[in-house]
Structure 1
Amino acid sequence: MSKIKVLHVVRPAAGGMKNHLLDLVRLTDKTRYEVTVACPPGSQMWNDLVKLGINTLPISLVGELSPGKDYAAVRTLTKYLHKSETMILHAHSSKGALVGRLAAIIARTPVVIFTAHNSIFYEEWPRWKKKLFATVERFLARFTDRIITVSEALKQELIEQENIPAKQLTTIYNGIDTDKFSAQVDTLAIRKSLNIPELGPVIGTIARLAPQKGVSYFLKSASLLKEYQANFLVVGDGPLRQDLEQEAAELGLQNRVTFAGRRENIAEILAAIDIFVLPSVTEGLPLTILEAMAAGKPVVATRVGGIPEAIQEGKTGIVVPPKDPEALAVALAGLLGERERAVRMGINGQKFVQEKFEVAGMVNRTMELYQQLLEDKNLIHSKVNGQTNEDSKPQIDVEG
């Protein structure tokens, strides 16, 4: 039986998008699909894919627009799509979707999918840039069989701001391997490795240090909680790190906030955190809050994107307005003062994530979409010899 060839295209990515794609390709049904990922060589994602034994295709793709590199990436992808007879191109992020779909149009790739992981309309963009981006997206959407959104809120944004037909959009929630976050660890050792004092609760955030993550508001809220014997932790790196460290100093938080930089042992770090915070200005459906809940931690996050779809208000966490450090501080103070309530939220969140956001569900729904689109174009029988549609429906068992 010939395998159906799938090419994923992604820009340099870290954090949630990287973990999403790694889980998806790792758990894709390899008896039916032959998976290749096109991404920049030498990146952390590239290295992780190589470790997993996933086929990789080097492309010159960067995060920002770069006509020369983008053109070269389109040429590389077009040549590969022609030569490999790839059946499905699955692009991730707006930049990956731009070059990936242009190549798919030229190569006449049969099935084209785009997963939108976050809002494409970054708040700091000028009006003309948002309008141009929306126009380009509407054009490319005509050549896209399905756009996957990671939350209903993101789906609604694409309908309202880009006039994408609802029938072209499918929401598939992000999923995580919850077992990774349930192991017992030595939290005192973790605190010591991060230079966090042994006494006092830890309030932490894990995010790329970029404007859309709103870490500055987390620092401002920390400055309002100086009377509490709490420790504040920022895990992650990015273009704003130096500015944020300077802001922490100006707020008098030198001995209260730890900037831990980029870390790989996220499950262990979450075990050492007492309350998880995500103060984002814009989001799709962040994996970090799912991971925090899987680790049994109460979550305080902003009411943006798909966050309200992942947090049960008052039961698994608290949702506050974005850009409002006072509201964030009030929510944190409430949990610091009611330890039993915080623990109860953590237990509820752990159960909720296991029921609704397990990685197997995310992968199965993606495989079902592949199957549906191939069937709709009468492509399935040319690749699956003698196998009925019912027999070939994929199911993922992460325990197997």
Structure 2
Amino acid sequence: MSKIKVLHVVRPAAGGMKNHLLDLVRLTDHTRFDVTVACPQDSLLWAELAALGIKTTPIPLVGELSPLKDYAAVKSLVKYLHSSGTVILHAHSSKGALVGRLAAAIVKTPVVVFTAHNSIFYEQWPRWKKNLFAMVERFLARLTDRIITVSDALKQELMEQESLPARQLTTIYNGIETDKFNLKLDTLTVRQSLSIPELGPVIGTIARLAPQKGVSYFLKAASLLKDYQVNFLVVGDGPLREELEQEAAELGLKNRVTFAGRRENIPEILATLDIFVLPSVTEGLPLTILEAMAAGKPVVATRVGGIPEAIVEGKTGLVVPPRDPEALAIALAGLLGERERMLRMGNCGRKHVTEKFTVQAMVNKTMELYQQLMGEKKLGIPSNPISTEGKQHRTDVEG
């Protein structure tokens, strides 16, 4: 049987969504599925896909709404879909899903899947904008065979906001390669490379410096812990970096907080932390929390999106209300005073992630969904059953 052609459509992606897509296309069974990714040619994602040997096709897709560029992206996708014999179009993020689903509808692509990685109804939007967006999404849902949500909380939100039936939604949790984060190394060397003082525990966050990640609340919580000999670390970059550095200075944290910028050695950085924090105001299911637990670190995060589905409260970490730096500071102070509890949480977190949030489980469930949808449409399915035992499929692009 010939391979099933799959096209992933994604806007310029960074952070968790980029890593999710890279893992998905890398570990998809390439003996059954012929995978291509449509994304902007000048993006970091394009370069990383090329390094993995994944086929790509360029589209002029940008993150914000741009009628001219969006039309050009749809036109480009229509041309590709017509000529490629694509059977499954899999869109990621609301912007990728907008152009991808319109193009698939024009060409009549047999199977259309959309992964919602995060909430698409931002709280700062006025009610009219949320209603308009929900109306557009309800229309696009008619052009979609299945919507994947990365958490049950996100699934529930889409059911409520868009009145979508449960049968159209499937939760597939994000997953990670846990072995990458189980490191034994000289953390002093890592601290020195980040200009972190040698003495005192390190509390850190890894996030894109954008409003939804709530890093400002982390800084405010840090300012409430000035009496503790603690070092604070912010890893990541984004539109709010300059503003957040200024806020840290105004809070008297200039010598207590290190802004490390974008880094590639995340496993080493996590190994150096004593506590990982994610103060988000909206989330799907953040990979950084899973990575921190895989690294054996206790996690303190906000009660938003799928975060409570990832953290076992009191066992692998603590969950606090969003936008509440006082609650965050209290949770951190409590852990700092109980070293044995921190170690116990870290060990429980590593075990929890290994059992429930592996990348191979995520990839296998996605392939099973492809197979199910093709079967429902009587399109024929790959001849060999897909393993659900976490066995890693060999591909021609591993490495």
Give SS of 1:380's match: coil
RMSD: 1.0
State the shift of 1:394 in Å: 4.9
> What is residue 221 of structure 1 aligned with on the other side?
221
Question: 1:58 and 1:184 mapped to 2: Cα distance?
Answer: 41
Give SS of 1:95's match: helix
Does residue 393 of the first structure (1) align with residue 367 of the second (2)?
Answer: no
Question: 2:289 and 2:190 mapped to 1: Cα distance?
Answer: 20
Does residue 77 of the first structure (1) align with residue 77 of the second (2)?
Answer: yes
Give SS of 1:252's match: coil
Question: 1:189 and 1:122 mapped to 2: Cα distance?
Answer: 40
Unmatched runs of 5 consecutive residues or more in structure 2? 395-399
Paired residue total: 393
> What is residue 102 of structure 1 aligned with on the other side?
102
> What is residue 203 of structure 1 aligned with on the other side?
203
8 Å contact from structure 2 (residues 28, 393) kept in 1: no
> What is residue 19 of structure 2 aligned with on the other side?
19
TM-score (norm 1): 0.97
Question: 1:369 and 1:146 mapped to 2: Cα distance?
Answer: 9
* 1:165-212 Cα distance to aligned partner (Å, 9 max, x none): 110000000000001001212211111111000110000000000000
Question: 2:132 and 2:92 mapped to 1: Cα distance?
Answer: 20
> What is residue 178 of structure 2 aligned with on the other side?
178
Question: 1:93 and 1:79 mapped to 2: Cα distance?
Answer: 22
1:145-164 pair list within 5 angstroms: 145-164=145-164
Question: 2:183 and 2:321 mapped to 1: Cα distance?
Answer: 33
Counterpart amino acid of residue 7 in structure 1: L
1:343-362 pair list within 5 angstroms: 343-362=343-362
Counterpart amino acid of residue 122 in structure 1: Y
Question: 2:184 and 2:40 mapped to 1: Cα distance?
Answer: 36
Question: 2:129 and 2:96 mapped to 1: Cα distance?
Answer: 18
Question: 2:246 and 2:281 mapped to 1: Cα distance?
Answer: 21
State the shift of 1:267 in Å: 0.6
Question: 1:345 and 1:24 mapped to 2: Cα distance?
Answer: 29
1:48-87 pair list within 5 angstroms: 48-87=48-87
8 Å contact from structure 2 (residues 206, 278) kept in 1: yes
Give SS of 2:47's match: helix
1:1-400 pair list within 5 angstroms: 1-380=1-380, 384=382, 387=383, 391-394=384-387, 397-398=391-392
Structure 1's consecutive aligned runs of 4 or more residues displaced over 6 angstroms after TM superposition are none
Counterpart amino acid of residue 398 in structure 1: Q
Question: 1:67 and 1:185 mapped to 2: Cα distance?
Answer: 50
Q: Report the identity percentage.
A: 78
* 1:17-70 Cα distance to aligned partner (Å, 9 max, x none): 001000000000001100000111121111110000000011111110001111
Give SS of 1:62's match: coil
Question: 2:259 and 2:122 mapped to 1: Cα distance?
Answer: 25
* 1:219-255 Cα distance to aligned partner (Å, 9 max, x none): 0000000000000000000110011000000000000
Counterpart amino acid of residue 386 in structure 2: K
Question: 2:301 and 2:393 mapped to 1: Cα distance?
Answer: 31
8 Å contact from structure 2 (residues 147, 170) kept in 1: yes
8 Å contact from structure 1 (residues 29, 394) kept in 2: no
8 Å contact from structure 2 (residues 364, 386) kept in 1: no
Unmatched runs of 5 consecutive residues or more in structure 1? none
Give SS of 1:343's match: helix
State the shift of 1:356 in Å: 0.2
Question: 2:303 and 2:4 mapped to 1: Cα distance?
Answer: 40
